Amino acid sequence: MKQLPENPNIEHLKAQAKDLLKTLRASDPKARLHHAQLALAQDYGFASWPKLVAQIEELQLARADYQQVLLMVEQGCRDGVHAARARRILELHPRMAFASPACAAVSLDITAIRELISAENVCDATGSLNAVPTAYAAFSCWAKARPESYAEALKYLLEIGADPNSAFHSPDWTENPLPVLYGAAGFIRSPEATKLLLDAGAKPNDGESMYHAAESLDTRCLQLLVNAGGRVMHINELRRVLDFENPEGLEIMLSACDRPVDSEALVQAIRRGRSQEIIDMLLEAGADPKKPSHLGYTGEQLAFERGLNIGSRDLSPTPEQELVRACWQGDVQSAARLKDHHRNLTTIQRRGLSDALWSYRTELIAAFFAGGFTHEDRDANRGTPLHIACFTGNPEAAREILQHNPPLDDETDNYQAIPMQWAIYASQNSAAYFPDAKWPETVKLLVEAGSPPPNRTFGSEEVRVILRDAWPDLEEEPM
């Protein structure tokens, strides 16, 4: 078995893997880079290439300058590069929890927290992010893995006088402070921590907590917020729960509405492909199917196009509506016959294809394209149909869209990201929202279709394997 040098270099090992690949291909022309990387890792005694890379990164962290290490731990809030490094450092060097009040709060080490944080400094900004200890704890990189320590840490901080309405000022969002209640209810989604903060006086109507708690199918945090006086203050909060098939969450949100549900919510539910149950709940709550939304379209019109029953019988459909209805019925022949009317569609009608893709209605793609829709019919984030198929991890949809030759390097969406990057991002961040997604298969399909590389290697581990094999020289973002 080979031994790693005292100061191993990942770039040198990548070069070794490439050389080994040439040797492997002499006997097996189908050998790929990940086969060579695995063989090399096993030569060094590791079960996989990622485990070898992780060991090298840990050795590098162990030799890093103390101030650099301190900075990485203190910035181990939320997700991302610093969070991953902070976890690794604290696993290697648990005593770093005692390096500063910020490190103690991030680590959720109750012994370190009690030693370094008291009533005298619990409300003082500290550390490299210039935040109060409660903010570091509320968004700790360890919170999801250590729920009991998370609740215990926040309980202690509140008991010694922490402000339950304090906020985390992210370096990436300097003008949008994130309340610690949002950290507990909408980011970590801990009912125990949410109750602690609310009982201590946290204000549920902070513009963040209700909205983000509505993103979870586990409605306990949302119910706690409403029980504490949380109200639907903005239409976006109600619309957010309609992004998911969550009747229980909608019922809770409706109980917090002080006015009848407006047409925007009804249109949102129909566009998101929600069930008849949810449509009926909105109608019972006062949504007017005949009132236009801000896009000038009524729920009644939209329901007709999409085959939903909202009790209307008196519509005289236009040819444009007939075209869209044919698309939503998957009627390729009728859609093709009405294709010329595509040029007169409204904005919301033009988003029919993207809405169908977000709703995983793969079987409708052929009818939409037959009806004049193209790979340029974008959604509200200017994502193309291929972007959406990638984000939802739908290789069947992506394969069908690729038959229409969409540009694989399109980055004119709101995030300036090519379609592949939408798939990679979602594989790492959106698994809870798309349980049936097949992101590795989608990414592999794009690689085979000739997609340009992403800006770095990230995503789920399965996706990273594909990216490493296709573009071994890409910089890799830590898990």
Q: What CATH number has the domain bearing residue 397? A: 1.25.40.20
Alpha helix segments (H runs only) across 272-405: 276-284, 299-306, 319-328, 332-337, 347-350, 352-358, 365-370, 385-391, 395-402
Say which residue, 433 or 325, is predicted with more confidence: 325
194 domain residue, yes or no: no
Averaged confidence pLDDT in the chain: 89
243 — phi, psi (to 5°)?
A: -75, -10
Residue 81 confidence (pLDDT): 60
> 24 lies in a domain?
yes
56 part of a folded domain: yes
Residue 391 has pLDDT above 90, yes or no: yes
Of residues 387, 335, 405, 395, the one with CA closest to residue 364? 335
pLDDT band at 169 (very low <50, low <70, confident <90, very high): confident
Please state, for a pLDDT cut of 90, what percent of the chain lies above it.
57
In this predicted model, what pLDDT tens digit does every residue of 436-464 receive, in sequence order?
Answer: 999 999 999 999 999 999 988 889 989 99
pLDDT digits 0-9 by tens, 347-390:
889 999 999 999 899 999 999 999 999 999 999 899 999 999 99
pLDDT confidence of residue 65: 60
Count of CA atoms in the C-beta half-sphere (13 A) of 149: 20
Q: Name the band, by pLDDT with cuts 50, 70 and 90, for residue 57.
A: confident
Question: Is the entire prediction scored with pTM above 0.75?
Answer: yes
**Residue 412, domain extent:** 374-479
Q: Output the pLDDT for position 198.
A: 98
Q: Does residue 477 or residue 185 have the better pLDDT?
A: 185
CA separation for the pair 267, 261 (Å, rounded): 11
In a domain, 94, yes or no: no
- Provide mean pLDDT across the span 214-232: 96
Q: Please, which pLDDT band fits residue 11 given cuts at 50, 70 and 90?
A: confident
* 229 vs 5: which has the higher pLDDT: 229
Lowest mean pLDDT among 292-301, 304-313, 334-343: 304-313
Q: With a cut of 90, say whether residue 224 has pLDDT above it.
A: yes
CA distance 114 to 305: 61
- pLDDT tens track for 110-129: 999 999 999 999 999 998 88
pLDDT over 80 (residue 6): no
Other Cβ atoms less than 10 A from the Cβ of 393: the count is 26
Question: 79 pLDDT band (50/70/90 cuts)?
Answer: low
The pLDDT score that the predictor gives to residue 37 is 86
Between CA 463 and CA 477 the distance in angstroms is: 13
Q: How many domains, in total, are found in the chain?
A: 2
Residue 317: predicted pLDDT: 85
* Measured distance CA(41)–CA(17) in Å, rounded: 9
Is position 407 within any domain? yes
What token pair was written down for 220?
A: 């306990």
259 part of a folded domain: no
pLDDT in the model for residue 314: 64
| Chain segment 228-258, per-residue pLDDT in tens | 999 998 888 999 999 989 999 999 999 999 8
Q: Which residue has the higher pLDDT, 95 or 80?
A: 95
Report which residue type is found at 125.
Answer: A
In a domain, 447, yes or no: yes
In a domain, 386, yes or no: yes
pLDDT of residue 311 exceeding 70: no
- Higher-confidence residue of 388 and 6: namely 388
**Residue 450 CA: distances (Å) to CA of 52, 385, 405, 443:** 29, 17, 11, 11
Which stretch of DSSP H or E encloses residue 45? none
Report the pLDDT value the prediction gives residue 64, as an integer from 0 to 100: 66
Least confident range of 225-234, 295-304, 317-326: 295-304
Q: Select the highest-mean-pLDDT range: 7-21, 232-246, 310-324, 398-412.
A: 398-412
How many angstroms separate the CA atoms of 67 and 71, rounded?
Answer: 6
pLDDT band for 403, please (50, 70, 90 cuts).
very high
